[in-house]
Amino acid sequence: MLSVQGLRVAYGHAEALRGVDLEAKGGEITAIIGSNGAGKTSALMAISGLVPVTAGEIRLEGRSILGMKPYEIAQLGIAHVLEGRQLFADQTVEDNLLLGAYTRLPHDRARVAEIMEREMNRFPILQRRRHQFAGNLSGGEQQMLAIARGLMSDPKLILMDEPSMGLAPLVVQEIARILRGLRQEGSTIILVEQMASVALQLADRVYVFENGRIKLSGTGIQLASDPEVKRAYLGG
């Protein structure tokens, strides 16, 4: 689905990514774990076009998307659920969802209404909060809305940045359940996650980032039993 080769990203003189290769297969959850500043978020932002790439190649279904504008990449079917939710706090839940379907509007209204019903069923709390301002939702509800907004375009590939950030354990479990459900529906997800235990449990394939490079990669099961991963990321 998506392949990244030799990806480098720099902010001025600071290199955030120093040559990263990764592959996200269709219908799988690909997780990226690693400590703060390892370059996880930069990798997602490079894929969605939010930060310029200094070297390397990014291909979606074999076609290079390098140098495209973020809105063009969104139109190709890549949705990005940004770190820290980044909702339109001064607009309603429903309007946030509508904007999530912006690439399908206004020509595909009927389909968008269907998708909105689908997401309201997936996240019943959003149905109840439909006409409230997104800024008035609780942290967990905001994360649900951020994910739902990402799904509104019916994307081929979903980039999800730290969906568990700042949430209570029970809510994290709820989000994990939803991600598992999405995988069962056949969605393709690249998940960046600070909580390695959650990521290893969910992911088909895991990449461990360190200082802008890939330190390890393997299946979730392989890495969960890797002594180094256990020591560094699972607290055991």
Partner 1 sequence: MLLKLWQALISGLSVGSIYALIAQGYYITYITTGALNFGQGEFLMIGALFGLTCYVVLGLPYALAILGAVLVTGLMGIVLERIAIRPVMRHALSLSWVLSTVAVSIILKNAAVDLWGPEQIKFPSPFGEGVVQIGPAGIFPQELFIIAVALGTVFAIQIFLRRSLLGKALMAVAFNRNAAAVMGINVPRMVVLAFVLSSALAGLGGILIAPITFAWAYMGTVPGIKAFAAAIFGGLENPIGILIGGLIIGVLEQLFGIINSNLKEGITFLFILLALAIRPTGLMGRQEIVKV
Contacts to partner 1 by CB under 8 A = 48-50, 69-71, 74-75, 79-80, 82, 86-91, 95, 98-100, 102-103, 105-106, 149, 153
- φ, ψ of residue 94 to 5 degrees: the values are -65, -40
Between residues 11 and 71, which has the closer beta carbon with respect to partner 1? 71
- Pick the closer one to partner 1 by CB: 44 or 120: 44
Instruction: Quote the least distance from Cβ 48 to partner 1, whole Å.
Output: 5
Residue with Cβ nearer partner 1 (96 or 223): 96
| Least distance in angstroms from the C-beta of 114 to partner 1 | 17
Smallest gap, in angstroms, from Cβ of residue 104 to partner 1?
9
* Shortest Å distance, C-beta 85 to partner 1: 9
Are 160 and 33 spatial neighbours (Cβ–Cβ below 8 Å)?
no
Measured CA to CA in angstroms, residue 152 lies from 133, 163, 166 at distances of: 18, 17, 24
Q: Are 135 and 89 in contact (CB under 8 A)?
A: yes
Sign of CA dihedral 65, 71, 75, 77: positive
Nearer to partner 1, 62 or 106 (CB): 106
DSSP E strands, the chain: 2-11, 14-24, 29-34, 55-60, 63-64, 78-81, 157-161, 188-192, 205-210, 213-219
